[in-house]
Chains A and B, each alone.
Chain A
Amino acid sequence: MSNSKPGYTATSEVSRVRAKRTLWENIIRGLRSAPPTALFGMLVITAYVVIALFAPLIAPYGESEVFPIPYAPWSDEFLFGTDQLGRDVFTRLVYGARNTIGIAIMTTILAFTIGGGLGLVAAINQKWLDQFLSRFVDVLMAIPSLIFALMLLSIFGSSILNIILIIAVLDSTRVFRLTRAVALNVVVMDYVEAARLRGEKLGWIIRREILPNIMPTLVAEFGLRFSFVFLTIAALSFLGLGIQPPTADWGSMVRENAGLIQFAEYDITAALTPLLPAGAIALLTVAVNFVVDWFLHKTSGLRDE
């Protein structure tokens, strides 16, 4: 073209535009475009994280400190009353945030390490290993995961470590399927082939070529998996087979205080006591789902509309 100046390159033009926005500005821009539901979700998640991290500072009493009055009503001394053993419900709610969320996060990370790693390997291998892993996952997924988890817990007993391992392995099947499916689309791309021909090592190809392309899907899946794992663990604890006392945990708190709901007509606050931990669980999963919903919308133009 005649009007192009000497020394003009496309890169310099692009880099000028790109340099205009810092990371911080990008975040602000992203937040501004977020719908109210997503903002609400982020706010709730931040609050939960703060409470979980600073639990000992926020809680007025010790995690399993027992007071002489069981089922005390709501008062200034005990904000949400005490439970069946006389432990402060508010304190246990705060510590419960730390335990319940912490265990769910660890389980999800483990599930992603197992499922994501094997999924990538299967997508790249595409031979007998892929066949073997896929069929194995098919069989594992043929059993409903809560039922499978119950069966395994009856064999190995319910300790925190066992719960994390069992749920992580059962949940990694779904991560495996998704990772394999999205990675398969990327593996066949020409740039991966080019990198291979260049003589790049497998680790480099995974890190630099495949992962960046499947990251948005995996991040969204992480949110969804987290809420699923969180609900499963809560359900197990509620059934009395999950996190065991005296560790404060929301699922078991609902179970222990469920009887109070019968007294709603005499004292509505007593009936609310078992609903508080259940509501805490619901609020967090709702928040995570809102954020994931928005994130999916943002990263993939393919979805729905």
Chain B
Amino acid sequence: MHPILRTILQRLGLGIVTLFVVSVIIFSSIQFLPGDFAQAILGQAALEETVAAFRKELGLDLPAWQRYLQWIGGVVQGDFGTSFSGRDASGVDRSRAVVDLIAPRLENTLFLALMAAIISVPIALILGVTAALYRNSIYDRTVNSLTLISISMPEFFVAYILILFFASLNKVFPTLANISPDVELGERIYRTALPAMTLTLVIVAHMMRMTRAAIINLLASPYIEMAELKGVSRATIILRHALPNAWAPIVNVIAFNLAYLVVGVVVVEVVFVYPGVGQLMVDAVTTRDMPVVQGCALIFAATYILLNLSADIVSIISNPRLLHPR
């Protein structure tokens, strides 16, 4: 087998194992809930039979591994169970399927993340590469200090400053990102502008610093020095010697930051009351709606793992040393 194929298969296997273990952790979280939560959710006034029926629905009469199999079997088929909210003591069940809650919001979150990514990736790469090339110049120092400041700021601080200037003092953009499925694309982008800008500001700083470090690291390698010493022009050094080796770190940086976006959206969505998965999860945590929490956590974790996995695989494929084995 080609060594590259073997490494990729190994990584894929490792990714699947990680996903499995993570799903077990997320599933077992419900085991640690204190006391009888069936009773707690339905309230003190609930009849014995209602509580018993609810327990049976949750499968609390089954051993944990059977429940895990049922749960993960459902998840694979797109069934995350039913939400805890909407149930009451009388046994009337107005609860909704978790997947109905998550699906429309997932689309919104992906839209926001995609928009932030499209704006931030090119800016960050250009800033990072130029800062690395003109290392120690005034330009490099300024960009470096600015990004250090921007990294240190909590997302909500950036968000509120943007709101203050672009929504409150000058009414350029709306404060609340009120998105519904029937909103047209242009209007949607307009309403999502502020959250996307917040995410961009936070992420560009991270990405730029990592790109800069990766490129500087690369430029310090012996073969670049060799090329310099034998008098190759600067453009050729960068295009022929540096760039082929730079793809892997750059892709890694991008994937790492897209994964970071996954977490960043939570706070930003809450600030702008953006109807996404992050906000759903925060609401579910406040009301201890475990099936929703589990569903959201699983989606976030899976996205994170898959992004890191694809970064790994791209960096393996783009590594010239692995592509042409001796």
Query: Known contacts being A143-B297, A144-B304, A262-B175, is A154 close to B288, with CB within 8 Å?
Result: yes
How many B residues face the partner with a CB closer than 8 A?
53
Closest B residue to A150 using CB positions: B285
- Decide if B160 is an interface residue (CB 8 Å cutoff): yes
**Residues of chain A contacted by B301 (CB below 8 angstroms):** 142-144, 147
- Pair B153/A150 contact, Cβ less than 8 Å: no
State the main secondary structure of chain A at its contact with B. Answer: helix
CB distance from B164 to the nearest CB of A (A): 6
- Pair A238/B286 contact, Cβ less than 8 Å: no
Q: Which of A37, A251, A263, A289 contacts B151 (CB 8 A)?
A: A289
- Pair A144/B151 contact, Cβ less than 8 Å: no
Query: Known contacts being A139-B18, A144-B262, is A258 close to B160, with CB within 8 Å?
Result: yes
How many A residues face the partner with a CB closer than 8 A?
48
Q: Which of A143, A144, A153, A288 contacts B285 (CB 8 A)?
A: A153
Closest A residue to B175 using CB positions: A262
For chain B, residues 131 to 186, give those with C-beta under 8 angstroms from any C-beta of chain A: 135-136, 145, 148-149, 151-157, 160-161, 163-164, 168-169, 175
Query: Known contacts being A142-B301, A150-B281, A151-B26, is A282 close to B154, with CB within 8 Å?
Result: yes
- Pair A154/B284 contact, Cβ less than 8 Å: yes
- Pair B157/A289 contact, Cβ less than 8 Å: no
Query: Known contacts being A144-B300, A147-B266, A241-B286, is A305 close to B135, with CB within 8 Å?
Result: yes
- Pair B267/A142 contact, Cβ less than 8 Å: no
- Decide if B12 is an interface residue (CB 8 Å cutoff): no
- Pair A289/B160 contact, Cβ less than 8 Å: no
- Pair B161/A275 contact, Cβ less than 8 Å: yes
Q: How far is the CA of A185 from the CA of B208 in the complex (A)?
A: 29
- Pair B152/A289 contact, Cβ less than 8 Å: yes
**Residues of chain B contacted by A262 (CB below 8 angstroms):** 168, 175
- Pair A286/B285 contact, Cβ less than 8 Å: no
Q: Which of B145, B161, B300 contacts A37 (CB 8 A)?
A: B145
- Decide if A175 is an interface residue (CB 8 Å cutoff): no
- Decide if A304 is an interface residue (CB 8 Å cutoff): yes
- Decide if A179 is an interface residue (CB 8 Å cutoff): no
- Pair A143/B267 contact, Cβ less than 8 Å: no
For chain B, residues 285 to 315, give those with C-beta under 8 angstroms from any C-beta of chain A: 285-286, 288, 290, 293-294, 296-297, 300-301, 304-305, 308
Q: How far is the CA of A146 from the CA of B277 in the complex (A)?
A: 14
Q: Which of B22, B26, B157, B262 contacts A281 (CB 8 A)?
A: B157
Q: How far is the CA of A153 from the CA of B263 in the complex (A)?
A: 16
Closest B residue to A227 using CB positions: B152
For chain A, residues 257 to 305, give those with C-beta under 8 angstroms from any C-beta of chain B: 258, 261-265, 271, 274-275, 278-279, 281-282, 285-286, 288-290, 293, 304-305
Q: How far is the CA of A271 from the CA of B136 in the complex (A)?
A: 39
- Pair B300/A147 contact, Cβ less than 8 Å: yes
- Pair A261/B284 contact, Cβ less than 8 Å: no
Q: How far is the CA of A138 from the CA of B293 in the complex (A)?
A: 22
CB distance from B17 to the nearest CB of A (A): 9
**Residues of chain B contacted by A293 (CB below 8 angstroms):** 148
Query: Known contacts being A156-B32, A279-B157, A286-B153, is A150 close to B164, with CB within 8 Å?
Result: no
**Residues of chain B contacted by A168 (CB below 8 angstroms):** none
Q: Which of A138, A254, A261 contacts B18 (CB 8 A)?
A: A138
CB distance from B103 to the nearest CB of A (A): 19
- Pair B21/A139 contact, Cβ less than 8 Å: yes
- Pair A278/B154 contact, Cβ less than 8 Å: yes
Counting from the closest, the 3 A-B pairs by CB-CB distance are A285-B152, A264-B168, A278-B157
Told that A152-B29, A231-B154, A263-B168 touch, could you supply 9 new A-B pairs with CB distance under 8 A?
Answer: A142-B22, A143-B25, A143-B301, A143-B304, A146-B263, A147-B266, A155-B33, A241-B286, A275-B157
List residues of B whose CB falls within 8 A of some A CB. 18, 21-22, 25-26, 29-30, 32-33, 135-136, 145, 148-149, 151-157, 160-161, 163-164, 168-169, 175, 213, 216, 259, 262-263, 266-267, 270-271, 281-282, 284-286, 288, 290, 293-294, 296-297, 300-301, 304-305, 308
Ordered by A's residue number, 9 sampled pairs between the chains whose C-beta atoms are within 8 Å are A150-B293, A151-B297, A152-B29, A241-B282, A261-B164, A262-B168, A282-B154, A285-B153, A305-B216
